Amino acid sequence: MIKVLMVCHGNICRSAAAEVVFNALARQAGLEGRLFAASAAATREEIGNDIYPPMKRALERRGYDCPRHAARQTVRADYEKYDCIVGMDDENMRDMRRIYGGDPAGKLSYLMAWAGQPGRNVEDPWYTGNFEGVLSQIEAGCRSMLEKLRDARPGGLDAGRA
């Protein structure tokens, strides 16, 4: 099984939504036992909190099931546990490199790089209020990622160059 970790600032908007979307798309494609996503925060600010209500509403409007979520911070051990670790923006990437002690195995990538948009950050809807637009970005990134990972094997990923 290929395990993906989605990471954003607080794990209540972007990364939590990416976890929900990626896992739903994997189920729809019949890849539930081959691809799995979890999510975490780069910071400690929202630990234990559920998906932010406006993001949860945006997900539900698009038909996603949102089980209870408890935000958590990523830890150094996650680097070994996951095959691919996906950040939403430059700040997340800096935080992840600090937490993980770099990226020696090339596991870190940006979500939008998977969608052919390297250098494009997924904006933080906590500040912009653009939950629907952010969800569209997340869906595009997750769809592309799913397509690229569907036939991959753990350990054989080149996530950093996605």
- List the catalytic residue out of 78, 89, 95, 124: 124
User: Residue 149 corresponds to which tokens in the numbers above?
Assistant: 């990972």
Buried residues in 72-100 as b, exposed as e (16+ CB within 10 A): bbbeeebbeebbbbbbbbeebbebbeebb
Please confirm, yes or no, whether 124 is among the known catalytic residues. yes
Judge contact between 15 and 7, C-beta under 8 A: yes
> Which is catalytic among the residues 8, 13, 84, 142?
8
Active-site residue, from 14, 78, 83, 142: 14
Please spell the DSSP secondary structure of 2-28, one letter per residue: EEEEEEESSSSSHHHHHHHHHHHHHHH
Q: Which residues are catalytic?
A: 8, 14, 124
